[in-house]
Amino acid sequence: MTAPLENIRVLDMSRVLAGPWAAQLLGDYGADVIKVERPGVGDDTRHWGPPWLGGDKGESAYFLSTNRNKRSITINIAEAAGQQLVRELALKADVLIENFKVGTLQRYGLGPAELHAANPALIYCSISAFGQTGPRAHEAGYDAMIQASAGLMSVTGPPPEVPGGPQKVGVAISDIMAGMYASTAILAALNARRSSGVGQHIDVPLYDSQVAWLANQSMNFLIGGKAPGRMGTAHPNLVPYQSFQTRDGDLMLAVGNDRQFQTVCTVVELPELAGDDRYATMKGRIANRETLIPLLAARFLERNSGEWLELLRAGGVPVGPINDIAEVLGNQHAADRQLVRHIANGAGDDVPTVANPVSFSDTPVQYEYAPPLLGEHTDEVLREWLSYSDAQIESLRKNHAV
């Protein structure tokens, strides 16, 4: 085996981000991922630019970020012939991923019950805003409103007394995390199928996913009974764990235990703080952060970021600069770790892509396909998966099914 999922076929009927992110991960791990798109239009994100690769007629950066290691086929599911084509492809697939509005695919006879009846081994993964059941199931939703309504924005942004208000995360993290949950659920279902021989329907809501990964913030409420609020870069359970302004910029300090705090006190030449009963323990520092943080903040203003980073790192204290993305993708660590890879697409363009962070010792991540051109592989997939003839494919085109 050259890739962990090289024997798995995935029909990716999703678009935008959560579903495509899940499918891209499966493709990275070697699955044969077929991206089903609307003829002439494609995934919504193909039009979400600038910037564009190769100018205004090229591919949007947004689309390129989440569709590598896939082949694109166009199918018009509004046509009966297109619906039949999806059914035939689903018979050959191990996994189907979709994020249509709840009930849409059922109206076309392409819901989980219908396709599972035809292919009992199929794993059918549905991603939606609020899940397949419940009073909100039929509501649409995008990442930003999920970040807001599912709690994330209540703990993101400056404290209430500081101007700025609630803020969303700078990437569509609710979508991405739903995609991550979906991919792990699919892998679990594939493993379950090894024993049972049958697939199942997976329901992944953005809202529930967002609630789930609030992690310690949710548990702080469940145990403490008080809803967490916005704290800027500070941490509710660790002190000092936040950004500090220096003479020439900012740094992020992440103290996770009392020993590290003692080292910080030595480095900033405030050793008396380490022996102060108010600050010696994490419990004490949390209770007395309002008096501790100003003392540290004043001291950090006395030197440049580079000096503090060198001194704190030498003492084993977790600390880092606040880098922009140009620095992150252009520094020596990125080069050493090959965080940016390059793949040629079907038009001959060089497509940069941010590497999958996982490294397998024996079955490496694949970078076989650049994000595909719209419908680039339609004929190829129909011949390969369904053994269609040229005449059959041409008939589908005449009937506007592909």
Residues catalogued as catalytic? 175
Dump the DSSP string for 3-64: STTTT-EEEE---SSHHHHHHHHHHHTT-EEEEEE-TTT--GGGG--SSEETSTTSEEHHHH
Q: How many CB atoms are closer than 10 A to CB 338?
A: 9
Q: How far is CA 398 from CA 288, 394, 401, in A?
A: 73, 6, 8
Distances (CA, A) of 60 to 3, 19, 53, 325, 351: 29, 18, 6, 18, 11
User: Do residues 371 and 64 lie in contact, with contact meaning Cβ atoms separated by under 8 Å?
Assistant: yes
Closest CA to 367 of 67, 36, 13: 67
State residue 155 phi and psi, 5-degree precision.
-120, 15
A 10 A CB-CB count for 297 gives 15
In the numeric block, the tokens 């992110």 are attached to 21
CA atoms within 13 A on the CB side of 191: 7
Contact by Cβ (8 Å): 153, 217: no
Separation of alpha carbons 335 and 343, rounded Å:
16
- Please give the Cα distance from 126 to 99 (Å, whole number): 6
Tell how strand 250-254 and strand 319-321 pair up: antiparallel
- The CA distance from 398 to 82, in Å, is 12
**Helix or strand holding residue 371 (H, E):** none
Element (H, E) at 348: none
DSSP 153: G
